[in-house]
Structure 1
Amino acid sequence: MSFFLRKLPFALVGVACALIAVALFSGQWGGLKRVFEFYGVANEGVVASIRLLSAFVFSSVAILSVLALCLERAVKPLAIFLILLSLVPLLSLLGSDHWIDSLGGFPAIGSGQGVIKYFSLLVLGITWLYRDSLSPQKLIWLNYFPVGLVLLWIGGMKFTALEAQGIESLVSTSSLLSWLYNLFSVQTASNLIGIYDLVALIVLALGIYIRKLFCLGVLLCAAVFITTQTFLYTFSGSWVSPGQLSGSGIFIIKDLWFIANLLVILSFRGVAIKA
C-alpha cells in the first residue's frame, strides 16, 4: 500500500499535465492568456509562441512523471520543473486581473480560481525535492496547505451569487449533485456545497492531530476532487473533441493534483505514526 501511495501521485500529475499539453497544442488556453497578460505579453504572435512553449513544458512534466514511476533519478528534475511551472502563474495573482472588482477585489477571485490550483504543483515539487530533509509532519502540513487553501477559497466563493450561478451548468449535469436543485434554490445549493468544503478542510486539519478523524477528513476532501472529475463525463463543455480538453476541462482536470496531495499526506501519515 505504501508503494502505491508513493507512486500514484506521479501518475495523476502525469495524466493531468499530458491532457493539458494536448489541449494547449490544439489551441486552448486554460486561463494562461491572462497569466501572460500580467507579464505584459500582448503581441498575438508572441502569445501564441508562449502557449506552444507552455505545451512543451507540460509535456515535459508528463514525461518526467512517467519516468519517476520507475526511475528515482527522475524525481528531482520533475520536482524542479513543477516548482518553476507553478511559480509563473502563481505570481500573476499579484495583479488585479484575477480579482472581481464588483465583489471588492481580493479575496473575491475570478479567473484566478484556476491559477490557485498551481499551489498544489508547487507543494508537490517542494515535497519531492526535500522529502529526505523535512520531517513527515512538516510534509503532511505542507501538502495540506493547497488542499485547505483551495477548499477555503473556492468554498467561500460558493456563498456569492456570482459563483452560485457560475457552477450551475456543472452541478445541474451531475448525477451526484443535480438533486440539490430539486430541493433547494441555486444559491442555497451553492451554499451547502460551500459548507461541505469548509467542513472537509476543518475535519482534515483536526485529523492530522486526532487520529480518529484523519481518514474521515481525507475521504471528505477526496470526495470534493473526485466529484469534480465526474464533470469531465457529465458536462459536455469539458471536451472540444475526444482526448482534447476545453478551457473548462483544463480547469477541472487540475483537481487531480489535489488528489495527489492527499495521497502524499496518506503516505507520510503512515511514516509519522510509525515514528
Structure 2
Amino acid sequence: MKKKVEKPVPLLSIAVIACISLSFALLALSSFAGVDAGLVKILGFYQLTKEADLPLIRQLSSILFSLLALLPWLTLHFVSLKKPLALLLVLCAVPPLVSLTGSIHWIESLGGFPAIGSGQGIIKYAALLALAWHFWRPDNKVQHWVQYAPVALVLVWIGGMKFTQIEAEGIADLVQSSPLMSWLYLWFDQQTTSNLIGIYDLLALLLLGAGLYYRWLFLPGWLMCLAVFLTTQTFLFSFPGAFSAHGLLTASGQFLIKDLWFIASMLLLLQWYLTTKQPQQIKQS
C-alpha cells in the first residue's frame, strides 16, 4: 500500500497562525504579570467590581490567552482541534464585545455613542469572530466578506474618530514617535494630520470593498489596508510606552498588538484572492 502523502500547509495559512499565536503569547505574558488593559471596565459592565474578582479573572484570561497561543500551531497536525480553537476565539471575543452595549466605553463629552474611547481596544475583538469563522468553516463561500467585516468596522469607526480633536491629540505621541509618520507634523498641524489619516483609512477600506467585486481594485485596496495595520505594529518598536522595562506589553502595547488579528484577516483575504478563479470575460461577438 502506498503511504498517504499529506498536502503541505500553504505559507499564508502558517502566517495567519503565526499572527494569532504571537499576539496571544505576548498578551498572556503581560496578563500573567498583571497588565489588564480594559479588563476593569469590562468587569464593571458585568457588575464584577469586587477587588477579589480581578485576580481570579485575570488568571483565567491569562490561561485562555495561553491556550490561544498554543492551539493554532496544533491545528497544523490535528485538524480536529480547529473547532475547539474557533470556540475559544469566540469565548475570548464575546464578553468584551458585549460590554460595548453599555456606556462605559463611550466619550460623554462628544455625545456618547458612537464617540468611542476605551472601546477602541474592544472593537478589535471583532476580528477574533471572523478568525473563528475561518477555523470553523474554512471553505465557506462568504469567507472573504466575513474577514472584510472586522476590517471595515475598525477602519470606519477608528478612522472616523480621527476627525475629532480628542483622537487627534490621542494619537499625537504615536505619530510623533514613528519614523514612518512623524514627517506629517512638519507639513501639517495636529488636527489636519489626524484628518488625513482618517481619509486614508476610509479610502483604503472603500478600495478593498470594491476589490471584492472588481478584482483589479483588490490589490491596491488590500495593500493600503495592510499598510494601516503594519504601521500600527511598527509603533511597538518606535513608541517608548509599548513595552515595560521587563520587556512585557504595557496597556498601550496590548492595544497595538491586537492589530495582528487584522493582519491575519488580511492574509486570509489575500488567500481568497489568490485561490478564487477570475471570472471569464464575455467575448463580444
Partner of 1:184: 188
2:224 to 220, 239, 243: 220
- The residue correspondences of 1:146-165 to structure 2 (distance < 5 A) are 146-165=150-169
Give the whole-Å Cα distance in 1 for the aligned partners of 2:71 and 2:276. 28
Contact 1:24/1:54, CA 8 A, preserved across alignment: yes
Q: How far did 1:65 drift?
A: 1.6
Which of 8, 27, 34 is the aligned partner of 2:15?
8
The answer (yes or no) to whether the contact 1:19–1:243 under 8 Å persists in 2 is no
Matched, 1:110 2:117: yes
- Residues 1-275 of structure 1 aligned to structure 2 (within 5 Å): 3-132=10-139, 134-135=140-141, 138-273=142-277
Larger RCO, structure (CA 8 Å, separation 6 or more): 1
Partner of 2:282: none
State the 1:242 CA deviation: 4.3
Question: Does the CA contact (< 8 Å) of 1:11 and 1:69 recur in 2?
Answer: no
In 2, Cα distance between equivalents of 1:176 and 1:234: 10
Deviation at 1:48, TM superposition (A): 1.6
Q: CA RMSD in A?
A: 1.4
Answer whether contact 1:5 1:263 (CA < 8 A) is retained: yes
Q: Normalized against structure 1, the TM-score is what?
A: 0.96
Report the alpha carbon displacement of residue 74 of structure 1 after superposing the two structures with TM: 2.3
Q: State the shift of 1:2 in Å.
A: 7.8
Q: Deviations over 1:136-169 (max 9, x none)?
A: xx10011000001100100000000000000001
Aligned AA for 2:154?
Answer: V
Unaligned stretches of 5+ in structure 1?
Answer: none
Which amino acid in 2 is paired with 1:156? Answer: G
In the alignment, structure 2 segments of 5+ residues that lack a partner are 1-7, 280-285
| Corresponding residue SS for 1:237 | coil
Letter in 1 for 2:66: S
TM-score after normalising by structure 2: 0.92
* Structure 1 counterpart of 2:10, one-letter code: F
Larger % of helix: which? 1
Counterpart of 1:12, as a letter, is C
Query: C-alpha displacement at 1:268, in angstroms?
Result: 1.8
- In the alignment, the residues of structure 1 paired with residue 278 and residue 206 of structure 2 have an alpha-carbon distance, to the nearest angstrom, of 24
The number of equivalent residue pairs is 272
Identity, in percent, stands at 49
